[in-house]
């Protein structure tokens, strides 16, 4: 692929993933030079419906969003979901847990029927997604690596091992020893264990590895006197849309 036409699109989320692209700072001009950026509402006025690669941020939470994501899917050759909200629904999915109608009523009262809001779903519930830059926010260098790989025609390498591996390599004290809960044992690495590095438990924002060792996580929680409910409270922060698959395992 030569200089690909790239569009950056935002759905329901905080804009933090697009900001992480802008936060590339010293690499930003190289990135902008290597691609033809045709659509990026947060940063530029120019916009076009002619693109090969779509970077999509945010979850799909409205009827209007369903139409938009389907259109993007029909234009782009390659779709990259960036950030937890796009990858697995992310934090937005807590709305589903609470109950859509109840949530509407709590926030909007008798005006709730004015709201276009449907069950939260990740991007791949509607269109084919080729690559995932996970995390909240995503690791900006992983986004660069994915784009670079696409330009040179190489398959991006995304880790499929747990955060514990990176955490051990970084020489951290296990946060369970400090009385905290951590989803590192089942969560996909690639963030360089950034939360445990800061003496916080992993919230699982990158989602589980392909075949998570849930029993090991349960044993660990038990060893430190924590329950499955404690684990699910953590897991559901970013993975409520996928929660059932973990509970059934």
Partner 1 sequence: MADNINVEVKSVSRVEGHGDLVLNVKDKKVEKLIFRIPESPRFFEAMLVGKNWDKPSHITSRICGICSVAHTYASVKATEKALGIVPNDMILKLRKLIFHHEIVQSNVLHVYFLAAPDFLGGGSVIPLVETHPEVVNIALRLKKMANDMVRIIGGRAVHPIRTVVGGFTKLPTEEEMYQMREMLNASYADLETSLAVLKTLDLPAFERETEYISLSDSVDYAHYDGNIKSTDGWEIDPMDYLDKINEKVVEHSTAKHCWAGRDSYMVGALSRFNNNHDNLSDKAKEYAAELGLKAPCYNTFMNNIAQFVEVVHSVDDSLKLIEELLQEGMDDSRAMVEVRPQSGRGVGAVEAPRGLLIHDYTYDDEGRIEKANLIIPTNMNYGNIERDMNALVPDIIDKSEDEIRLACEMMIRAYDPCISCSTHFLDVKLVNK
Give the footprint of partner 1 on this chain (CB under 8 A).
Answer: 10-20, 22-23, 25-26, 28-29, 32, 37, 41-47, 61-62, 64-65, 90-92, 94-95, 98, 102-104, 106-108, 111, 114-117, 136-137, 194-195, 197-200, 203, 233, 237
Q: Torsions phi, psi of 128, nearest 5?
A: -70, 130
Select from 154, 237, 156 the least CA-distant residue to 190.
Answer: 156
Question: 41 or 213, CB closer to partner 1?
Answer: 41
Dist CA 29 CA 24 (whole Å): 9
Q: What is the 3-state secondary structure (H, E, C) of 151-179?
A: HHCCCCCCCCCEHHHHHHHCCCCCHHHHC
Question: 181 or 213, CB closer to partner 1?
Answer: 181
Contact partners, residue 242, CB within 8 Å, separation at least 6: 88, 89, 207, 208
Least distance to partner 1, CB of residue 174, Å? 14
The SS3 of residue 142 is helix
Question: 131 or 238, CB closer to partner 1?
Answer: 238
Least distance to partner 1, CB of residue 96, Å? 10
Question: 26 or 210, CB closer to partner 1?
Answer: 26
Least distance to partner 1, CB of residue 216, Å? 24
- How many CB atoms are closer than 10 A to CB 95? 21
Question: 91 or 221, CB closer to partner 1?
Answer: 91
Least distance to partner 1, CB of residue 154, Å? 27
Least distance to partner 1, CB of residue 29, Å? 6
Do 195 and 137 contact (CB within 8 A), yes or no? Answer: no
């Amino acid at each position: 692929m030569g200089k690909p036409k790239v569009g950056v699109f935002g759905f329901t989320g905080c804009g933090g993933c697009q900001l992480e692209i802008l936060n590339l700072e010293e690499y930003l001009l190289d990135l902008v030079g290597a691609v033809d950026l045709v659509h990026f509402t947060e940063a530029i006025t120019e916009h076009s419906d002619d693109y090969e690669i779509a970077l999509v941020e945010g979850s799909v939470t409205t009827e209007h969003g369903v139409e938009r994501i389907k259109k993007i899917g029909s234009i782009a050759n390659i779709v990259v979901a960036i950030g937890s909200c796009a990858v697995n629904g992310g934090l937005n999915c807590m709305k589903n847990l609470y109950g859509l109608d109840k949530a509407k009523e709590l926030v909007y009262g008798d005006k709730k029927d004015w709201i276009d809001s449907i069950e939260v779903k990740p991007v791949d519930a509607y269109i084919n997604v080729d690559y995932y830059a996970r995390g909240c926010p995503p690791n900006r260098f992983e986004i660069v690596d994915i784009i670079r790989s696409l330009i040179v025609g190489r398959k991006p390498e995304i880790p499929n091992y747990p955060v514990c591996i990176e955490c051990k390599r970084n020489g951290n004290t296990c946060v369970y020893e400090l009385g905290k809960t951590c989803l590192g044992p089942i969560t996909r690495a690639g963030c360089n264990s950034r939360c445990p590095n800061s003496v916080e438990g992993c919230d699982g924002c990158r989602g589980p590895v392909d075949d998570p060792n849930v029993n090991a996580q349960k044993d660990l929680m038990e060893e430190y006197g924590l329950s499955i409910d404690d684990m699910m409270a953590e897991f559901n922060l970013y993975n409520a849309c996928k929660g059932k698959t973990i509970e059934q395992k």
